Structure 1
């Protein structure tokens, strides 16, 4: 796939390839794992056996170039719930077009995914929060200077793929409430807040951190926003988690290695929450 927008033929070729690896497998939930969180993909149920497909083998998929992103598509079960799991994602700052970045989301929709769960590592602008905190995303602010739907409207999934998709409940409130109930039972503290999407790859300036906080953002990252926009355009409900991997405060420098390590540490706590939440989330289908 070389064009900015995938064709229906691109989608069908990729979808058929994936289906051929797992005949009869019919997941309704997709999961995208971000920086430092790829290890969650290793926690899928042992039976039935998971199927791991490197992105390099998937037709029309790009290859993740970022450390901390394993670069595998996994088909399997978490707590008995069938899922498609992306170990790592593609980013606009890697030089890929928005069409390429969001292509896997359209493929998931073509596979029948109805709920997309996204996760990411984020910088925290809230001074009373801490590295390692896990937050449910309540909303996002798109500060990436573009939108993956710019261009011809690809009406792949009518009636959802309208020219002007509604984004007012892009991180589904009912799904968030379901997760909060599970977190309370497990005594897992969850933050909630607004994700601010930047392009990267440079980390933000101190002035930008102040601007983000002043304008309603709680944490900031370089992904997620395009995927959620396309997911909504494709008719999916979305649920998002951000892991606070660095504090955006004066005198603290951002370091990708430390961010990946913090993401992995928090991911070890996010795994049991996702495992216990998935049956309840699946019940919402």
Structure 2
């Protein structure tokens, strides 16, 4: 477990303030191969993670590891182009350190994207799923990102997780999908640490629990954002269908995930772009 002090958070914020005076109101955490959305920004300052004190650096494929702060469709915004994961060896507190920084910078709304495996049999590769709720099996075993030292300046000791995904934001994203004829499911996401893909028995168990998609990110960030009072909306890109039969000839591969991300990016970018524009309304 990693406990940060308030002074460490403030040191990181001071380093960012020394590079840009902009106070972002919108934050985005972009998942595997989805960092292309950063190209929508204007007048942006790009800050590699390794140039910021205490900031975790990403080693995952498809994650550039750069913080972008600038104007996004008329909104002052900060984009994490690539995230860090617990499967890289980071603690939940390290993984969510950037969310605390976003809050201290002034972020009020957070958009999160990820690549996920589809469990719901009605889903198909290339679909998008709006996360309506989650099951945090890692958190149930003690890996909650708010565990440890409590800093009252950053949020309450105990975090309510009903409505962790902001209902009005969900409605806006659904309306955008309908308006632009984008297939968008709404479902339950399960977070597992990884990096191993799930076994067929685990997939069958998750399906019985009511899980629609599974991945290795997002939930720790959502918990800390909820704790910090940030409104969250999250979308999973279904890059592969999880295998529930141990005798299946197919296997899930990293290459399959990257190939399918490419076809999803245009629709996901469209959804995010239109959602950001609705925030002004």
What interval of TM-score do these two structures reach, taking the shorter chain for normalisation? Answer: over 0.9
Matches within 5 A, 1:1-285: 4-23=2-21, 25-41=22-38, 43-45=39-41, 47=42, 49-144=43-138, 145=141, 146-157=143-154, 161-249=155-243, 250=245, 251=248, 252-283=250-281
- SS of the residue corresponding to residue 96 of structure 2 reads helix
SS at match of 2:189: strand
CA distance in 2 between counterparts of 1:44 and 1:156 reads: 33
CA displacement at 1:232 relative to structure 2:
0.9
SS of the equivalent of 2:252 reads: coil
SS of the residue 1:50 aligns to: strand
String of CA shifts for 1:222-250, please: whole Å, max 9, x gaps.
11111111111111111100000100133
**Displacement after TM superposition at 1:156 (Å):** 2.3
- The count of residues paired between Structure 1 and Structure 2 equals 274
Superposition RMSD in Å: 1.3
Bigger shift: 232-241 or 268-277? 268-277
SS in 1 for 2:240: strand
Cα distance in 2, alignment partners of residues 40 and 254 from structure 1: 26
Contact 1:156/1:234, CA 8 A, preserved across alignment = no
- Structure 2 alignment gaps of length 5 or more: none
> 1:21 aligns to what SS in structure 2?
coil
How much does 1:89 deviate?
Answer: 0.6
Between the aligned partners of 1:19 and 1:189, the Cα distance in structure 2 is 40
Contact kept? 2:120, 2:211, Cα under 8 Å: no
**For the residues of structure 2 that align with 1:177 and 1:11, how far apart are their CA atoms?**
33
Structure 2 length-normalised TM: 0.94
State the 4+ residue runs in structure 1 displaced beyond 2 angstroms: 249-252
Secondary structure in structure 2 of the residue aligned to 1:123: strand
* Cα displacement (A) at 1:8: 0.8
CA offset at residue 71 of structure 1?
A: 0.6
Task: State how far apart, in whole Å, the 2-side matches of 1:118 and 1:155 are.
Answer: 25
Greater Cα offset, 224-233 or 247-256: 247-256
**Stretches of structure 1 lacking an aligned partner (at least 5 in a row):** none
**Alpha-carbon distance between aligned partners in 2 of 1:265 and 1:17, rounded to the nearest angstrom:** 37
* TM-fit CA distance, 1:117: 1.0
1:152 is displaced (CA, Å) by: 2.3
1:260 deviates by 2.1
Q: Kindly state the Cα deviation for residue 206 of structure 1 after the two structures are TM-superposed.
A: 0.3
